[in-house]
A and B are shown apart, each in its own frame.
Chain A
Amino acid sequence: MSNLLAARAQMGTSLAFHIIFSALGVGIPLLLCIVEGLALRTKNPVWMMLTRRWARAAAILFAIGAVSGTILSFELGLLWPTYTKFAGAVIGLPFMLEGFAFFTEAIFLGLYLYGWDRLSPRAHWLCSFPIWISGLASAWFIVSANAWMNTPTGFVMKHGTIVDINPLQAIFNPSTPYETVHMILACYVATGFAVAATYALAILRGKRGEYYRKGLMVGMLMAVIATPLQIISGDFNARYLADYQPIKFAAMEGVTHTEQGAALKIGGLADPNTGQIHYAIEIPKGLSLLAYLNPDATIKGLEQVPRQDRPNALFVHSSFDGMVASGLFGLLVALLFWGLYWFKKRTIPENRLLLRGIVLAGPLAFLAIELGWMVTELGRQPWVIYGYLRTKDAVTTAPLLNVSFLVFSLVYILLSAALIWLLLQIAHRPLPQVKVVGEGYQVIEPTIADAEEAGI
Chain B
Amino acid sequence: MDAALIALIVLWWALITYAVLGGADFGAGVWDFFAVGRLADRQRNLINHALGPVWEANHVWLIFLIVGLFSVFPSAFSTLSIALFFPFTLALLGIVLRGAAFIYRYYAVETTGRFARSWGRVFSVSSVLTPFFLGASAAAVASGKLLLPNGMADATYFVSWISPFVLTIGAMAVSLCATIAAVYLTVEARDTEHDRELAESYRLKALIAGAITATLGALGLVLSSVESPILWQGMLVRAWPVVIVTMIIGLATAITLYTRHYNTARVLIIAEVAFMLGAWGLAQYPYIIPINYTIGNSANAPNVITAILIGLACGMVIVIPSLYYLFSVFKLPYPAPEAQRSANE
By a beta-carbon cutoff of 8 Å, the part of chain A in contact with chain B is 56, 59-60, 62-64, 66-71, 73-74, 76-78, 81-82, 84-90, 92-93, 95-100, 102-104, 106-111, 113-115, 117-120, 122-123, 130, 163, 165-168, 396-399, 404, 407, 411, 415, 418-419, 421-422, 425-426, 429, 448, 451
Pick from B56, B109, B342: contact of A106, CB under 8 Å: B56
Q: What's the Cα separation between A167 and B301 when bound, in Å?
A: 11
Instruction: State in angstroms the CA–CA spacing of A62 and B59 once bound together.
Output: 13
CB distance from A112 to the nearest CB of B (A): 9
- Contact B70 A111, beta carbon cutoff 8 Å: no
Partner of A92, one of B72, B82, B95: B72
A422 to chain B, nearest CB (A): 6
Within 8 Å CB of A56, what residues of B?
107
Known: A81-B78, A103-B60. A74 touches B338 (CB 8 A): no
Least distance between B300 CB and chain A CB atoms (Å): 5
The docked-state distance in angstroms from the alpha carbon of A115 to that of B329 is: 8
When distances are taken between beta carbons in the complex, the residues of chain A under 8 Å from B326 are 107-108, 110-111
Per-residue 0/1 for B13-39: is the Cβ within 8 Å of any A Cβ (1 yes, 0 no)?
000000000000000000000000000
Structural contact, B304 and A396, CB atoms closer than 8 A: no
Q: B82, A84: Cβ atoms under 8 Å?
A: no
Majority DSSP secondary structure for residues of A touching B: helix
Which of B324-344 touch A at CB < 8 Å? 325-326, 329-330, 337-343
Known: A78-B88, A93-B304, A100-B64. 7 other contacts (CB 8 A): A68-B96, A78-B92, A84-B70, A95-B67, A110-B56, A119-B338, A404-B89
Determine the interface band of chain B, counting residues with CB < 8 A from chain A: 35 or more
- From A106, A167, A422, give the contact of B307 (CB < 8 A): A167
Judge whether A92 and B70 touch: CB under 8 Å. yes
B-to-A contact residues, CB < 8 Å: 52-54, 56-57, 59-60, 62-64, 66-68, 70-72, 74-75, 77-82, 85-86, 88-89, 92-93, 95-97, 99-100, 102-104, 107-110, 115, 119, 153-156, 300-301, 303-304, 307-308, 311-312, 314-315, 318-319, 322-323, 325-326, 329-330, 337-343
Q: Which A-chain residue is minimally distant from B65 (CB atoms)?
A: A99
Residue pair B81, A396 in contact (C-beta under 8 Å): yes
Q: Is the CB of A70 within 8 A of B322?
A: no
Q: Is the CB of A60 within 8 A of B56?
A: no
9 A-B contacts (beta carbon < 8 Å) = A67-B99, A70-B62, A77-B78, A77-B80, A81-B82, A111-B325, A118-B340, A119-B340, A398-B86
Given A106-B60, A115-B329, A88 and B70 contact (CB-CB distance below 8 Å)? yes
Interface pairs A-B: 7 shortest CB-CB: A92-B71, A88-B74, A77-B81, A100-B315, A398-B155, A123-B338, A114-B53
Docked pose: A364 CA to B59 CA in angstroms: 33
In the bound complex, how far is the Cα of B303 from the Cα of A168, in angstroms?
11
The answer on a CB contact under 8 Å between A93 and B82 is no
Q: A84-B74, A115-B329 are in contact. Are A103 and B57 (CB under 8 A)?
A: yes
The distance from the CB of A123 to the nearest CB of chain B, in whole angstroms, is 4
The reply to whether B338 and A397 contact each other, CB–CB distance below 8 Å, is no
Complex: A86 Cα to B341 Cα, angstroms: 50
Interface centre among B71, B99, B103, by most chain A C-beta atoms within 10 angstroms, is B71
Asked if A106 meets B96 with Cβ closer than 8 Å, knowing A96-B312, A397-B154, the reply is: no
Q: Which residue among A90, A100, A168, A415 has the maximum number of chain B CB atoms within 10 Å of its CB?
A: A100
Instruction: Specify which of B108, B339, B340 is in contact with A422 (CB 8 Å cutoff).
Output: B108
Out of A92, A99, A118, A451, which one reaches B329, CB within 8 Å?
A118
CB-CB < 8 A to B54: which residues of A?
110
Q: Verify B119–A418 contact, CB threshold 8 A.
A: yes
Contact pick for A123, options B155, B308, B339, CB 8 Å: B339
User: What's the least CB distance linking B185 to chain A, in Å?
Assistant: 17
Instruction: Give the residues in chain B near A114, CB-CB below 8 Å.
Output: 52-53, 330
Q: How far is the CB of B7 from chain A (nearest CB, A)?
A: 10
Tell me the nearest residue of chain A to B323, going by C-beta: A107
Q: How far is the CA of A98 from the CA of B72 in the complex (A)?
A: 15
Cβ-defined contact, B311 with A96, below 8 A:
yes
Contact indicator A165/B301 (Cβ below 8 Å): yes
